[in-house]
């Protein structure tokens, strides 16, 4: 299994629109072979000083895949290309971490 943390930064004020498109694409991703977990997360409220906030224009996609091959198939899926084309004008940047469990 592999873990993916994708930190998405939208252009100012565009996070809600990107998340709307993201959520519309989620059922197709969840139906992909090898998808264990795939969902967006934003800053929690009321956590206190321990937290380093992402801010109002960012979110994290928390993913788990059965293997790197499943992740590669996900990246090449037609619904991901369509989602990417839709949100690309609203995205400022992204950082993707692909991780293995430390066991």
Q: Which domain holds residue 87?
A: 2-42+54-99
Q: What is the pTM of this model?
A: 0.93
Confidence of residue 61 (pLDDT cuts 50, 70, 90): very high
Instruction: Give tens-digit pLDDT for 8-21.
Output: 999 999 999 999 99
The answer to whether residue 29 is domain-embedded is yes
Rounded to whole angstroms, the Cα distance separating 41 from 27 reads 16
The answer to whether residue 83 is domain-embedded is yes
Supply the mean pLDDT for the chain: 97
Instruction: Give tens-digit pLDDT for 68-98.
Output: 999 999 999 999 999 999 999 999 999 999 9
Instruction: Give the CATH number for residue 34.
Output: 3.30.70.100
Q: Could you tell me if 99 and 3 are in contact, meaning their C-beta atoms sit under 8 angstroms apart?
A: yes
The answer to whether residue 49 is domain-embedded is no
Confidence of residue 103 (pLDDT cuts 50, 70, 90): confident
| Percent of the chain at pLDDT exceeding 90 | 98
Burial of residue 3, with CB atoms counted within 10 A of its CB: 0-12 exposed, 13-18 middle, 19 or more buried: middle
- The better pLDDT of the pair 103, 7 is held by 7
Tally of structural domains, the chain? 1
């Amino acid at each position: 299994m592999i873990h993916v943390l994708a930190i998405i930064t939208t252009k100012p004020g565009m996070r809600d629109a990107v998340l709307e498109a993201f959520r519309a694409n989620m059922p197709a991703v969840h139906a992909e072979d090898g998808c264990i977990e795939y969902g967006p997360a934003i800053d929690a409220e009321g956590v206190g000083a321990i937290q380093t906030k992402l801010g109002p224009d960012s979110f994290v996609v928390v993913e788990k895949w059965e293997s790197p091959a499943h992740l590669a198939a996900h990246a090449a899926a037609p619904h991901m290309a369509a989602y990417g084309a839709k949100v690309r004008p609203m995205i400022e940047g992204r950082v993707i971490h692909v991780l293995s469990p430390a066991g």
